[in-house]
Amino acid sequence: MNSSSRQRRLTAAAVTALAVAVGATACSSGSGSADTEGGDGGTYTVWDPYPQFDKTSAWTKLLDRCGAEAGVKIKRTGFDTSDLGNKTLLAAQQGNSPDVLIVDNPVVSTLAEAGVLTTTDDNKLDTSKVDPNLLAAGQSGGKTYGTPIGANTLALYYNKAVLKAAGVDVTRIKDWTSLTAALAKVKTAGKKGITFSAIGTEEGSFQFLPWFWGSGAKLTELDSSQAVSALSLWQTWLKDGYAPNSVLNNTQTTSWQEFASGDYAFAENGTWQLANAEKAGFDYGVLPIPATTGGNAAAPTGGEFVTIPAQQDTGRYATSQKLVTCLTSTANLNDTDNTLSYVAPTAEVQDKQVAANAALKPWVDAVKAAKGRTSDDLGIEYPKISEQLWKAVQSALSGSKSPEDALSAAQSAVK
């Protein structure tokens, strides 16, 4: 794709969609083509959402090593996640895109829709080893735009002492009925049931999605009977005192703080809390979120994709591909994903992670069942759908609307 056609695709609608996408989730001084003409040699720019890593970090050293192997120098810039998408779009408008872009997975389809990214057909990235459910987060219109560097997702942490005191056998929790029965026992025993985040932001949608998808509902039909059953489940938990009213304002951080008090049996949260779990001071376990009739519910995937933005000088793609292949190789993924608290996107590296740390097994299981928020070819429609979903959750849990009415209003607003 040439520069002029790419710029024509950067419409106002794409700008707006990207602003919503990056705002809902979780600048370089030179372009990728400023330092060299053609494939090898010179400097290649890498943008990532890891500003916490400085020049001495293992991540930066890996980038430099991959650059050396490709015969180029790396100029790396780390941005906050909320800034990176907008900076990328602006750079594309100016014909100044980085050579390699590592970006939060829900943003990939929006950037692809805007013509910012090359496909794997263009750049020859090999994604054959990546788990298909994880790769789907970077697919749109039948094309793939990059490869995941790793994934995180949601599961249920549980306090072993609280469950033991309540007489709950966690191995018997297989579906919504058995989970709700466990919460009832915990309440009877004088402890608190479950905490999660239902805040009116993307975090609230993110946490609701495992129950939504676990009911069999689809994001294209927010008012289905399955969706109503999922929202009714959460509403019932609040009404019966199994979950606190604070979930309406809880972020994933404040929800975790409630669980860390030691009073709760369960908390819905992610792999990023593993280090905090080790510091909590009580024995804990991890249980994949159950679907309504059993099995593991699909939880949404977090984590980033490594992509290759479109360049005027297409001869740069070969070296960019070498860089991405190095960053996502089996040897490097293991170290990188452990650093980022991610589950690897390939079975080979997942097996290595579990062999080194058996506590990761339930997280690997959860990731294998996980689903990208923009999967099902939702693309730039997802942010609009998500906003209406979290509004429906807020309306139902606050008591201002029934689950049926809240989700009916949400579906009407999306249409």
pLDDT for the residue numbered 37: 37
Distance (Å, whole) CA 409 – CA 391: 9
Q: Cβ–Cβ contacts within 10 Å for residue 329, how many?
A: 14
The per-residue pLDDT for 39 is 43
Assess whether 288 and 245 both reside in one domain.
yes
Largest CA distance in the chain: 71
Phi, psi of 151 (to 5 degrees): -145, 150
The per-residue pLDDT for 18 is 52
**Alpha-carbon gap, residue 201 to 316, rounded angstroms:** 39
- Helical spans, DSSP H, in 114-224: 120-123, 132-135, 160-165, 176-188, 202-214
- Quick check: is 118 in a domain? yes
- Residue 9 falls inside a structural domain: yes
Q: What is the pLDDT of residue 415?
A: 85
Residues of the chain with pLDDT under 50: 1-13, 15-16, 19-39
Q: Is residue 388 part of a domain?
A: yes
Give the pairing of strands 100-104 and 304-307: antiparallel
Rounded Cα distance, 375 and 252, in Å = 23
Same domain as 160, residue 147: no
Q: Is residue 373 part of a domain?
A: no
- Torsional class of 10: left (φ above 0), alpha (ψ -120 to 50), beta (otherwise): beta
Backbone angles phi, psi at 331, to 5 degrees: -65, -45
Residue range 281-335, pLDDT digits in tens:
999 999 999 999 999 999 999 999 999 999 999 999 999 999 999 999 998 999 8
For residue 195, the enclosing domain spans 154-299+378-414
Task: Read off the CATH number of the domain in which 193 is found.
Answer: 3.40.190.10
Q: Is residue 230 part of a domain?
A: yes
From residue 281, alpha-carbon distances to 169, 205, 375 in Å are 21, 30, 38
299: alpha, beta or left, given left = phi > 0 and alpha = psi -120 to 50?
Answer: beta
What pLDDT, on the 0 to 100 scale, is given for residue 377? Answer: 80
Please give the pLDDT value at position 59.
94
Strands 43-48 and 73-78: parallel
Q: Do residues 200 and 62 share a domain?
A: no
Same domain, 141 and 284: no
Rounded CA-CA distance 83/18 in Å is 11
Q: Is residue 264 located within the same domain as residue 409?
A: yes
Can you tell me which residue has the tokens 């890891």?
A: 50
pLDDT of residue 81: 84
pTM value is 0.84
- At 268 the three-state DSSP class reads strand
Residue range 85-130, pLDDT digits in tens: 999 999 999 999 999 999 999 999 999 999 999 999 999 999 999 9
Decide if 55 is inside a domain. yes
